[in-house]
Amino acid sequence: MLSDVRVLELSAPATMLAGQVLGDLGADVVSVEPPGGATGRRLPPFIAGPLNAESSLSWHALNRNKRAITLDVASPDGRAILGDLLPHFDIVIEWIKRGSCLEGLPRPDGLIACEISAFSRGGPKAGYLATDLVLSAAGGAAAMAGDPDRPPAFFPVPQPMMEAGAEAAVAALAALAARDRLGKGQTVEVQARVAAAFASMGRLVAGRSGDHPFRRAPPGALGRMPIVPGMYACADGWVTITVAFGPAFVAMTQRIAGWLVEEGALRPEVARENLLEVALNAARHDGDPEPVEQLVSALVETCRRKSKAELVEISKRHRFMAAPAMDMADIASFDHYRQRGLFAPQAVGEHLVDTPARFAQFADYQIEVRRPAPRLSQHTAEVLSEFAGLNQLELQALFAQGVI
């Protein structure tokens, strides 16, 4: 797809997914790290055992299909070499803390500079100290997640670096579309906070709509209707099951009741009740909610004895909505993902891992792991001799000085 596109990524946590998406789509991506290694090499989780520049699994997960060089871009030589590299590249992706590393260097006309910053540049929070957790909080989605009696819920895997990275891939490709048409490069700016705010979805428009603000609150009881859970514990984890009594969904709930009768967990009389009416009466009037209570407790009890996979199978057979809250082991062994070809083999240190690389299936293109994540400085000599014309002696001199 992008086999004619070359990308220079000045590595930072938020650039990693951007470079990888472009690499997956066929671009030739070179990641530039400071001589001590990129920040991404110190992101957990780590391969069990000795800790070093090759241990970070976040690095391995987000840097396939790239070559890596080290270069101290703040040194005079590093700066000059960066300037020599630019004409060979179509896209530069960079995390902006204060200014761009490219400032003052001659920019080729066609160059696309994709700049990612934490907050708005020149805005009131431009000087903010930002970490992934700070950006998550600023994005807003966390305020609306988790149990209302406890603090907001965050992902254990940092999300803003992913969100900003994916957005930057889109932004760079939008600029490429513009260049394909007009022949000129340009600068595109991505803000990690704006990228993170996207996960607030519809709530992004709430504050100015005049509609109600969001409140984390326990589900409210309606009349005598019991609280119906959405998440059910099963033998090996959790399953979400839609148990609803509105006109659009009640037929599905009747089918759940039918299944529970088959399982011997529910009396047939209960399944024969008109659950829409029972629920309406219990919610609005003083109707007896017992059939609903019995259905829910039978469902809770029956789920405990079944596995996630069994419940999904049952939901297909009985036509109701259930989805397994998959963990990473489930994902690794899920036949459907295997059949789709989601996984491609990738070397990770001594291990060979099936990585879920193929984020899309194309009719006539396949995402492949053409290269595993690069070792520190693995391609410095190769890339700098190819694009910056450096010979062996010059490379050694730069190494001796700590520039590479």
Stretch that binds another protein, among 252-260, 270-278, 337-345, 390-398 (CB under 8 A): 337-345
**Strand, coil or helix: 134:** helix
Phi, psi of 187 (to 5 degrees): -95, 135
Residue selected from 284, 340, 370, 375 as contacting another protein according to rule CB under 8 A: 340
Q: Does 206 bind another protein (CB under 8 A)?
A: yes
Report the half-sphere exposure of 255 (CA within 13 A, side-chain side): 15
Judged by CB under 8 A, the stretch of 103-111, 212-220, 254-262, 271-279 that binds another protein is 212-220
Is 183 among the residues that bind another protein (CB under 8 A)? Answer: no
DSSP string, 37-86: --GGGGPSPB-SSS-STT-BHHHHHH-TTEEEEE--TTSHHHHHHHHHHG
CB 203 → another protein: shortest distance, Å?
4
User: Per-residue DSSP letters for 286-308?
Assistant: S---HHHHHHHHHHHHHHHHS-H
How many residues form the binding site for another protein (CB under 8 A)? Answer: 144
Contacts of another protein in 7-26 (CB under 8 A):
17, 21-22, 25-26
Amino acid at 83: G
Q: Return the DSSP state at 364.
A: S
Residue among 50, 98, 109, 215 that touches another protein (CB under 8 A): 215
- Could you say whether residue 109 binds another protein (CB under 8 A)? no
Q: Which is nearer to another protein, 135 or 278 (CB)?
A: 135
| Residues 6+ positions from 197 with CB-CB distance below 8 Å | 138, 139, 140, 141, 204
Token pair for 251: 């037929």
Asked if 36 and 23 count as a contact pair (C-beta separation under 8 A), the reply is no
| Euclidean distance between CA atoms 320 and 322, whole angstroms | 7
Question: CA–CA separation, 386 vs 306, rounded Å?
Answer: 59
Nearest-approach distance from CB 282 to another protein, in angstroms = 24
Name which of 119 and 387 has its Cβ closer to another protein: 119
Establish if 124 lies at the interface with another protein (CB under 8 A): yes
Instruction: Choose one: 249-257, 351-359, 384-392, 396-404; the region binding another protein (CB under 8 A).
Output: 351-359
**By CB under 8 A, which span of 151-159, 267-275, 290-298, 381-389 interacts with another protein?**
151-159
What x/- string results for residues 69 through 108 when contact with another protein is judged by CB under 8 A? Answer: ----------------------------------------
Helix (H) / strand (E) containing 355? strand 351-355
Single residue of 203, 224, 255, 318 touching another protein by CB under 8 A: 203
β-partners of residue 191 are 117
Q: Which two tokens mark 315?
A: 């939901």
Position among 50, 183, 212, 400 found at the interface with another protein (CB under 8 A) = 212
The correct pick among 75, 120, 281, 307 for binding another protein (CB under 8 A) is 120
Cα of 337 vs its chain's centroid, Å: 17
Residues 369-388 contacting another protein, CB under 8 A: none
> Mask 157-176, x = binds another protein (CB under 8 A)?
x-x--xx--xxxxxx-xxxx
